[in-house]
């Protein structure tokens, strides 16, 4: 039985699938050729990340498909309900990338509060001619410790972000319409830990009280943060979005950055992905990454292994 990992899969995932009796194909097939390739090769399992879209045309035209797997959390690039109506299993790996995304959030936060994103642009250009000027320009950094971190969306990734924030000595508040309260276990290297209870609050309170805001919500029909939400925030707030593009109004974000309402933003996802707006890419107050939240070796190993386990469990009787 054949598995097409069209957006790639870790070596550990390939090894586990092959051990389970599957043939794994890692050829990258262009979006418009995916259906033809699946039919020509009688592929039973299609694995994707965020690049490949699995819409009704593929689902309707590929009778050999038994499983569609998403390596990661969000499945907005798959017509999940439609596939399941057609009898196709749809799986994902919601727990595998939480730590990696959370660490990227703090990479953006640390970069923002110490202007690292801008310093890394300007030091190669002016470091030898304007060292003292740059030193002065980046002299007003701030610390994360003691500040309030507001988390919007308190699922697995939001809770992983909370753990790091608590470990840094931050006050953590959160909002989630599906989560009332959560016990966050903060683990230390030597086996010790502390438990911290966090009761979620209305989103409006997150905007009003947070020094930094991190978004961890699925794709939305509208914006989670737009002009009205920016107006509620503290002056000099920092914002990070490592969830989905389109949850922040980027036009309003640019205006808030230019006015000083927002001190900095860290973006891993974009409204117009994969062709982000030039105004966003060129803005000196935005720390940028190209949708790499789950792109660590450790996360990809966990994702590959978890996908393999689910596929083997679902199809073992057919092998």
Give the confidence band of 73 by pLDDT, cuts at 50, 70, 90.
confident
Cα 78–Cα 80–Cα 83 angle in degrees, nearest 5: 105
Task: Give the catalytic positions in this structure.
Answer: 244, 272, 291
Please give the structure tokens belonging to residue 147. 């500040």
- Please provide the distance, in angstroms rounded to a whole number, between the alpha carbons at the two ends of the chain: 6
Predicted local confidence at residue 319, as pLDDT: 60
Q: Report pLDDT digits (tens) over 234-271.
A: 999 999 999 999 999 999 999 999 999 999 999 999 99
Determine the angle formed by the axes of helices 116-126 and 98-113, rounding to 10 degrees. Answer: 60
H or E element that contains 195: strand 193-199
Do 181 and 200 touch, CB atoms closer than 8 A? yes
Predicted local confidence at residue 74, as pLDDT: 83
Query: Rounded CA gap, 189 and 193, in Å?
Result: 9
Give the confidence band of 78 by pLDDT, cuts at 50, 70, 90.
very high
pTM, entire model: 0.89
Give the confidence band of 80 by pLDDT, cuts at 50, 70, 90.
very high
Q: Which residues contact 150 (CB under 8 A, 6 or more apart)?
A: 173, 174, 175, 206, 207, 209, 210, 212, 213, 214
Q: Report pLDDT digits (tens) over 114-146.
A: 999 999 999 999 999 999 999 999 999 999 999
| Location of structure tokens 């290297």 | 189
Q: What is the mean pLDDT of residues 69-81?
A: 92
Torsion angle, alpha carbons of 220, 49, 61, 40, to 10: 170
Q: Report pLDDT digits (tens) over 10-29.
A: 999 999 999 999 999 999 99
Helix (H, G, I), strand (E, B) or coil at 239: strand
Determine the angle formed by the axes of helices 11-19 and 297-315, rounding to 10 degrees. Answer: 20
Predicted local confidence at residue 129, as pLDDT: 98
Percentage of the chain modeled with pLDDT above 90? 95
Q: Which residues contact 22 (CB under 8 A, 6 or more apart)?
A: 1, 2, 3, 45, 311, 312, 319
Please give the structure tokens belonging to residue 188. 């230390």
Q: Which domains does the chain have, with CATH numbers?
A: 2-94+297-318 (3.40.50.720), 98-288 (3.40.50.720)
Give the confidence band of 31 by pLDDT, cuts at 50, 70, 90.
very high
Q: Which residues contact 237 (CB under 8 A, 6 or more apart)?
A: 210, 211, 212, 213, 261, 262, 263
Please give the structure tokens belonging to residue 129. 């001619």
To the nearest whole number, what is the mean pLDDT of the chain? 96
Predicted local confidence at residue 219, as pLDDT: 87
Integer CA distances (angstroms), 233 to 171, 186, 210, 226, 239, in order: 17, 28, 7, 11, 10
Query: Rounded CA gap, 47 and 6, in Å?
Result: 6
Predicted local confidence at residue 117, as pLDDT: 97
Give the confidence band of 179 by pLDDT, cuts at 50, 70, 90.
very high
Q: Answer whether the bond into residue 274 is a cis peptide, omega within 30°.
A: yes
Do 180 and 200 touch, CB atoms closer than 8 A? yes
H or E element that contains 61: helix 56-61
């Amino acid at each position: 039985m054949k598995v097409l990992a069209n957006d790639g899969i870790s070596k550990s995932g390939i090894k586990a699938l092959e051990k389970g009796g599957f043939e794994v194909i890692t050829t990258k097939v262009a979006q418009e050729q995916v259906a033809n390739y699946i039919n020509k090769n009688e592929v039973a399992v299609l694995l994707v990340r965020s690049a490949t879209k699995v819409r009704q045309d593929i689902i309707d035209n590929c009778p050999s498909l038994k499983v569609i797997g998403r390596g990661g959390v969000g499945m907005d690039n798959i017509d999940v309900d439609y596939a399941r109506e057609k009898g196709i299993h749809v799986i994902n790996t919601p727990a595998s990338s939480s730590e990696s995304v959370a660490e990227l959030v703090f990479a953006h936060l640390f970069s923002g509060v110490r202007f690292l994103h801008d310093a890394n642009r300007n030091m190669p250009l002016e470091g030898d001619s304007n060292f003292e000027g740059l030193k002065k320009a980046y002299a007003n950094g701030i610390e994360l410790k003691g500040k309030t971190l507001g988390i919007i969306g308190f699922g697995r990734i939001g809770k992983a972000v909370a753990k790091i924030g608590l470990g840094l000595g931050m006050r953590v508040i959160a909002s989630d319409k599906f989560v009332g309260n959560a016990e966050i276990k903060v683990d230390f290297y030597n086996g010790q830990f502390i438990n911290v209870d966090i009761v979620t609050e209305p989103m409006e309170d997150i905007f009003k009280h947070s020094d930094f805001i991190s978004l961890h919500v699925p794709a939305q029909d509208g914006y989670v943060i737009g002009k009205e939400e920016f107006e509620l925030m503290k002056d000099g707030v920092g914002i990070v979005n490592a969830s989905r593009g389109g949850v922040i109004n980027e036009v309003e974000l640019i205006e808030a950055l230019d006015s000083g309402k927002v001190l900095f933003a860290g973006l891993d996802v974009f409204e117009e992905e994969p062709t982000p707006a030039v105004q966003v890419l060129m803005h000196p107050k935005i720390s940028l990454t190209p949708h790499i939240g789950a792109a660590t070796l450790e996360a990809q190993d966990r994702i590959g292994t978890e996908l393999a386990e689910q596929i083997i469990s679902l199809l073992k009787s057919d092998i």
